[in-house]
Amino acid sequence: MQEIKVDARGRSCPEPVMMAQNAFQQLSSGEEKVIIHVDSPVAMENIKRLAERYRYAVSVEKDGKEFYLTVTVKNNA
């Protein structure tokens, strides 16, 4: 399983969403994980919607004012 980490803290929208989309495009076949770290509720919601649009499983953990989105992608080989 490949895991890609994206640190988008301190970035203004739409940059965190673009960073997440770029990470999604780097994924290969099999089960993959993208972990995205943001500090904006707006960025968190936008990335969550993007992942859901692709039908990826997404979970969000809040740590103070920061968010960790774990996006799990299952691609067919």
Average pLDDT over residues 1-30: 91
CATH code, 18:
3.30.110.40
29 pLDDT exceeds 80? no
Average pLDDT over residues 12-21: 96
Judge contact between 6 and 36, C-beta under 8 A.
Answer: yes
Q: Which domain holds residue 16?
A: 2-75
pLDDT tens sequence across 51-65: 999 999 999 999 999
Domain count, the chain: 1
76 pLDDT exceeds 70? no
Q: What is the pLDDT of residue 7?
A: 99
Distance from C-alpha of 54 to C-alpha of 18, rounded to nearest angstrom: 14
pTM comes to: 0.89
* Strand pairing category for 2-7 and 30-38: parallel
